[in-house]
Amino acid sequence: MITLHYNPGAASFAVHVLLIELGTPFELALVDTKAQAHKSAAYLAMNPNGLIPVLQDGPLVLHETVAILMHLADTHAAAGLAPPLGTPERALFYKWGLWLSNTMQATLIHYFYPERMVAPGHAEGVVQVKAAAEAKVGHCLGQLDDQLRKAGGPWLLGATYSALDPMAFMLCRWTRNFAGSRPAREYPQLLPYLRRVHERPAVQRAFEREGLQPPWY
Ligand SMILES: N[C@@H](CCC(=O)N[C@@H](CS)C(=O)NCC(=O)O)C(=O)O
């Protein structure tokens, strides 16, 4: 059995969408962040970073959202959610997966938790880190918009929907409250892309199951 440790709207959302998309049986385990359940000894034993998500797949315990997405694409290869191994397309799948994780997602975390990057009580530092993170994510949105134009769409990697589309959609969604720069929906390629991903039944089902409300992105 597959179990996804999740919290509504957190990074687990992309994995939740993919699991529904795959039609594979799984269960959801809510991580009560208000009760700091992600910092409990039991949770830290699964993910020493104390972050969401964690996927349990039989005896395998896996953290890192993009690693989980890639694992699910590999273990459900018939669904065709990752390009064939050893191809240039597969190399680009790795490139975009790592970039989404180590550049765009990591910077969004600074945007959401700027106080973690400065000395305690440094209010001006918090404002500066948040603004800098928002500006850097703005560059990331520009790159995503450019990629959609170059790849010709309709999906991030081109003609075929992949395990990275729920990830790109989720990160774009996280920009919806940007105040100092454009959110994803204001980019010419990203707006129709977000609409297309949102139209997928798996995305709508995940929103529903997590109890999330509009605006969607
Ligand atoms: N690189 C990690 C990042 C995960 C992450 O930052 N998760 C956030 C939720 S979106 C979290 O658990 N935040 C709680 C905290 O930072 O205390 C991954 O992709 O799994």
Does the Cβ of 16 fall within 6 Å of ligand 1?
no
The predicted structure's pLDDT at residue 178: 97
Ligand 1: centre distance to CA 150 (Å): 30
- Angle (CA) 89-190-204 rounded to 5° is 90
Q: What is the CA radius of gyration of the chain?
A: 17
Pairing outcome for strands 54-57 and 26-30: unpaired
Does the Cβ of 65 fall within 6 Å of ligand 1?
yes
- What is the C-alpha to C-alpha distance for residues 173 and 91, in angstroms, rounded to an integer? 26
Q: At residue 162, what are phi and psi to the nearest 5 degrees?
A: -130, 175
Of 54, 50, 56, 16, nearest to 36 (Cα)? 50
Contact residues for 6 (Cβ-Cβ < 8 A; gap 6+) = 12, 13, 15, 16, 28, 29, 30, 31, 52, 53, 210
Ligand 1: centre distance to CA 196 (Å): 26
The predicted structure's pLDDT at residue 79: 98
Answer whether 0.95 is exceeded by the pTM. yes
CA atoms lying within 13 Å on the CB side of residue 83: 18
Counted residue by residue, the chain has a size of 217
Ligand 1: centre distance to CA 159 (Å): 30
Given a contact cutoff of 8 angstroms between Cβ atoms, the answer to whether 14 and 21 are in contact is no
pLDDT along the chain (217 residues), means of 10: 98 98 98 97 98 98 98 98 98 98 98 97 97 98 98 96 98 96 98 98 98 97
Question: Can you tell me which atom of ligand 1 is nearest the CA of 47?
Answer: 20
The predicted structure's pLDDT at residue 105: 98
Question: Can you tell me which atom of ligand 1 is nearest the CA of 66?
Answer: 19
